[in-house]
């Protein structure tokens, strides 16, 4: 009998804190490719493996779909008729899509002038109620929390523990694909929920329950049979203009071209520090120039187009390989959190300078091709 993949709720229902009867609100998310890099590995002379988990191939183009399918499934099962979130873009797109799928209302709070057009377009097309505030993401998050205290609406930001439960499944997929956990796992860090969620997944993959009650959804998972015998060192990378983990506290006015991680007051601050300590990992920061350079190199050298924030994970990994902080011969996984088409304005900066104009003649095309191949 042919098997049709129907999304991660059904794929991992026995590892999620949702009822067996809950109707899965799914768009077929998860099961994203783990792509091994070749050219960039040779470029840096690395004797190990670098693989990218391409979360941009989820239904709305980002990893947020993993958490949203579980959060909205649980919300609907509890009788919710509306969900709300603050967002720099990707969360709003995912919340709007899954709310539409469920037949409920989505209200998204976005910062004024601080959201990529590709992401805002998704929320618009999915029929969300969009509220643009005169303030940044952190201000929006405070408002959402206040509304959630008094209104009959479910918050679907990463403070919702079901979000992290969905996002932990990426770790299961990586272990399944590699046959073991990688030596290092690198992620971009904004609100810090995703690095926390991956640690939950890796911890459960070694046969332990949820690592701490602060991470769970009020129903601590019993241990499952081990999928691997070790967990990776977890590395989190922030943009220099939005690096509260490197500054030791909230950043009042975060600023970076990597809009998805333009967050100055992470909601998963404490859990992320637990991950760092338990895994023996570290946080670091990258300039916007380093992030954009890596985004371009990944697209040009490997054919993988990710949004700027995603490139922070690979940029950090490549830099730490060059510095010797990541041991040669290691297996390194970098999460690419969103697709490049999420933020086309950044990609198109200076793009017209690379377009070559020639006469509409075969010879002109042939001559250009010969020159480029020489």
Q: What is the mean pLDDT of each run of 10 residues along the chain (374 residues)?
A: 86 94 97 98 97 98 97 97 92 96 96 80 95 90 93 93 96 97 97 94 85 50 79 97 93 90 89 95 97 96 97 98 97 97 82 82 91 86
Q: Please give the pLDDT value at position 337.
A: 97
Strand-pairing partners, residue 234, are: 185
Distance CA 280, CA 301 (A): 31
Question: Given the DSSP bridges, would you call strands 49-54 and 34-36 parallel, antiparallel or unpaired?
Answer: antiparallel
Q: Please give the pLDDT value at position 212.
A: 46
Among 178, 85, 168, smallest CA distance to 128 is for: 85
Alpha helices in 206-287 (DSSP H): 244-247, 269-279
Strand-pairing partners, residue 21, are: none
As a whole number of Å, the CA-based R_g of the chain is 21
Q: Are the beta carbons of 107 and 83 closer than 8 angstroms?
A: yes
- Cα of 356 vs its chain's centroid, Å: 35
CA dihedral 340, 159, 254, 194 (to 10 degrees): -40
The neighbour count for residue 253, using CB atoms within 10 Å, is 9
Q: Are the beta carbons of 200 and 165 closer than 8 angstroms?
A: yes
- 183-207: b (≥16 Cβ within 10 Å) or e: bbbbbbbbbbbbbbbbbbbbbbbbe
Phi-psi region of 225 (alpha: psi -120 to 50; beta: other; left: phi over 0): beta
The three-point CA angle 40-119-144 to 5° equals 120
Distance CA 232, CA 177 (A): 15
Distance CA 76, CA 92 (A): 18
């Amino acid at each position: 009998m042919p098997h049709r993949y129907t999304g991660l709720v059904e794929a991992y229902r026995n590892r999620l804190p949702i009822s067996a009867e809950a109707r899965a609100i799914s768009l077929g998310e998860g099961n994203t490719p783990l792509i091994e890099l070749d050219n960039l590995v040779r470029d840096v002379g690395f004797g190990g493996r670098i693989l990218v988990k391409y979360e941009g191939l989820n239904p709305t183009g980002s990893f947020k779909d993993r958490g949203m399918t579980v959060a909205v499934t649980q919300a609907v099962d509890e009788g919710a008729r509306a969900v709300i979130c603050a967002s720099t873009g990707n969360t709003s797109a995912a919340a709007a899509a899954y709310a539409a799928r469920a037949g409920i209302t989505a209200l998204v709070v976005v910062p004024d002038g601080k959201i990529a057009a590709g992401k805002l377009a998704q929320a618009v097309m999915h029929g969300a109620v969009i509220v643009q505030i005169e303030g940044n993401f952190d201000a929006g998050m405070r408002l959402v929390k206040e509304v959630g205290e008094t209104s009959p609406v479910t918050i679907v930001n990463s403070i919702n523990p079901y979000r992290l439960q969905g996002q932990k499944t990426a770790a299961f997929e990586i272990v399944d694909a590699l046959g073991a956990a990688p030596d290092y796992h690198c992620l971009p860090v904004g609100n810090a929920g995703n690095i926390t969620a991956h640690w939950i997944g890796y911890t459960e993959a070694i046969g332990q329950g949820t690592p701490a009650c602060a991470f769970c959804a009020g129903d601590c998972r019993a241990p499952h049979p081990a999928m691997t015998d070790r967990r990776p060192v977890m590395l989190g990378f922030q943009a220099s203009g939005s690096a509260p983990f490197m500054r030791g506290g909230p950043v009042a006015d975060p600023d970076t071209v990597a809009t998805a991680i333009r967050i100055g007051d992470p909601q998963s601050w404490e859990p992320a520090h637990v991950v760092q300590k338990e895994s023996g990992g570290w946080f670091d920061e990258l300039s916007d120039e380093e992030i954009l350079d890596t985004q371009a190199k990944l697209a040009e050298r490997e054919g993988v187009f990710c949004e700027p924030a995603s490139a922070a994970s690979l940029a950090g990994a490549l830099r730490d390989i060059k510095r010797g902080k990541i041991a040669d011969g290691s297996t390194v996984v970098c999460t690419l959190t969103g697709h490049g088409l999420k933020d086309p304005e950044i990609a198109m900066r200076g793009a017209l300078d690379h377009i070559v104009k020639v006469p509409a003649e075969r010879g002109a095309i042939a001559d250009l091709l010969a020159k480029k191949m020489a």
